[in-house]
Amino acid sequence: MAPSPSPIATFVPVAPDSHFSIHNLPYGVFSSRSDATPRPGVAIGEQVLDLRAIAAAGLFTGPLLRDSDCFHQTSLNRFMAMGRAAWKETRGTVQKLLSADEPALRDNTDLRKKAFFPLNEVKMELPAVIGDYTDFFSSKHHALNCGKIFRGVDALQDNWLHVPIAYHGRSSSIVTSGHPITRPCGQVAPAAGSSSPAFKPSSLLDFELEMAMFVGPGNELGTQIPVESAYDHIFGLVLMNDWSARDIQRWEAIPLGPFLGKSFATTISPWIVTLEALEPFICNPPAQDPPPLPYLKEPQGKSYDIALEVTIKPDGDPKGSTICRSNFKHLYWTLGQQLAHHTVNGCNLRPGDLLASGTISGPEQGSLGCLLEQSWGGREQVALENGGSRKFLEDGDEVVISGHCKGDGYLVGFGTCSGKLEPPRCSC
């Protein structure tokens, strides 16, 4: 059980199992029926607090936020760029405004009408303009399983325990939870006996359970962010589904890595949970042996105890089957190491960049973070509760990722990251 932060009562109704307790206060960008302009908000219980409305009412009175127009933007990039001191000031202000014994918002009926929107009535937008998106490969279990499945080798690649391996992903096709996913078409390897590859809808469509960090302040090109200060550059985390077409990926990926097998869609959850909110859930990462090179050596490595689940809901089965229960803490490389590694060559990060973890697989069968692993490369059926089974996803399947941290009587949750698979649109 995580240590309890000082209890705060809020005047907003929050159910005990709500992901969006007063201890959370995640940031997102939303639009409403009454106003289609995207603007920053904070989720609390079943409500969204409109930060633009709060700023317009002059309630951000702290020295860093007072004169800022960061909440009058259509994305969080400007707020992300302001850094931890501004984030702390904002969190303090919002927590105070929402608290039960603070009248400023509670007793201002007019402002409450303008500043609160029911969560289930708003449209969530991408929280930031994502300049670059990077996907790491930081679960040792996942890396080992991929080696066994693809190469029949029970060993990591030579570099894996030294390098937090990553590749550049496609930022244009990142969408928020709920966006339908079209089954992609593409080239796959020649069938046995044929010399020509086939062009067809992917028949090995998969999810990947991941989480991803949004970058706060960036760094100048040619400079490094040392691992000691890496966390000052991390705004917060979201859930992510790195949809993957295994047949397309396998045929194209040698020698330059994944491309069209990934770039057709990536889904993130719309609410960014800040590192401040996650502090009570810090835990030790796995021991690293061999010890990492000095530039990756952390005074005190830290991970986060975030319970994760993946549920597949076939068409017409709204309950679905939870086929994976994993945890962020299974990751071998930490957030700080990923970020420090990313900049060690002088590569510049920008506010709003997204760095994903890679598939978060744990040690047990039930904690494997993608169907490729769960079906062991398509050799085994994964049973569903409705009597069906899957090796890979079928059209109409909805994949729902959820994640939360359990505090003493409250949750700090991420909501859900979902997407429903639609049939291919191409005519092949």
Query: What is the binding site for Mg ion (CB under 5 A)?
Result: 242-243, 262, 266
Residue nearest to Ca ion (CB): 242
Radius of gyration of the chain (CA): 22
The listed partner (Ni ion, Ca ion, Mg ion, none) that binds 276, CB under 5 to 8 Å by sort, is: none
Is 30 marked within a binding site?
no
Backbone angles phi, psi at 128, to 5 degrees: -150, 155
Select from 410, 382, 416, 412 the least CA-distant residue to 398. 416
The listed partner (Ca ion, a copy of itself, Mg ion, none) that binds 156, CB under 5 to 8 Å by sort, is: none
The binder of Ni ion chosen from 51, 59, 105, 185 (CB under 5 A): 185
Does residue 206 belong to the site contacting Ca ion (CB under 5 A)? no
> DSSP H helical segments within 234-308, as ranges?
246-252, 275-278
The sign of the dihedral angle between the CA atoms of 48, 405, 399, 27 is: positive
Q: In what order do the strands lie in the sheet with 411-422?
A: 181-182, 411-422, 398-406, 307-313, 321-327
CB of 21 to Mg ion, least distance (A): 30
The listed partner (Mg ion, Ni ion, Ca ion, none) that binds 266, CB under 5 to 8 Å by sort, is: Mg ion
> For residues 377 and 424, which CB has a smaller minimum distance to Ni ion in the complex?
424
Supply the residues annotated as catalytic: 142
Is 106 marked within a binding site?
no
CB of 376 to a copy of itself, least distance (A): 18
> For residues 48 and 80, which CB has a smaller minimum distance to a copy of itself in the complex?
80
CA dist., res. 23 & res. 404, Å (int): 12
Select from 298, 249, 308, 300 the least CA-distant residue to 273. 308
CB of 182 to a copy of itself, least distance (A): 4
Is 398 marked within a binding site?
no
Direct distance between the N- and C-terminal alpha carbons of the chain, in angstroms, rounded to an integer? 53
Does residue 373 belong to the site contacting Ca ion (CB under 5 A)? no
- Interface residues with a copy of itself (CB under 8 A) are 131-132, 137, 146, 157-159, 162-163, 165-173, 175, 182, 184-187, 189, 195-197, 199, 218, 221-224, 245, 248, 251-261, 263-265, 290, 293-295, 341-342, 344-350, 353, 425-426, 428
- Please report, as residue ranges, which positions from 215 to 254 form the binding site for Ca ion (by CB under 5 A): 242
The listed partner (Ca ion, Ni ion, Mg ion, none) that binds 208, CB under 5 to 8 Å by sort, is: Ca ion
**Cβ pair 350, 218 in contact under 8 A:** yes
CA dist., res. 155 & res. 273, Å (int): 35
CB of 358 to Ca ion, least distance (A): 5
Is 262 marked within a binding site?
yes
Does residue 208 belong to the site contacting Ca ion (CB under 5 A)? yes
CA dist., res. 71 & res. 335, Å (int): 27
CA dist., res. 16 & res. 115, Å (int): 23
Q: Which residues pair with 325 in a beta bridge?
A: 309
CB of 131 to a copy of itself, least distance (A): 6
- Please report, as residue ranges, which positions from 186 to 205 form the binding site for Ni ion (by CB under 5 A): 201
The binder of Ni ion chosen from 1, 254, 256, 428 (CB under 5 A): 428
Select from 79, 71, 68 the least CA-distant residue to 50. 71
3-state SS track over 377-399: CCCCCEECCCCCEECCCCCCCEE
Instruction: Point out which span in 54-62, 101-109, 125-133, 180-188 binds Ni ion (CB under 5 A).
Output: 180-188
Instruction: Point out which span in 82-90, 132-140, 183-191, 329-337 binds Ca ion (CB under 5 A).
Output: 132-140
Determine the length of the chain: 428
CA dist., res. 140 & res. 156, Å (int): 8
CA dist., res. 315 & res. 324, Å (int): 19
**Cβ pair 197, 279 in contact under 8 A:** no
CB of 419 to Mg ion, least distance (A): 11
Binding residues for Mg(2+): 242, 262, 266
Interface residues toward Ca ion, by CB under 5 A:
135, 208, 242
Binding residues: 135, 137, 151, 208, 210, 242, 249, 262, 266, 359
Interface residues toward Ni ion, by CB under 5 A:
185, 201, 424, 426, 428
Binding residues for substrate: 137, 151, 249, 359
Binding residues for Ca(2+): 135, 208, 210, 242
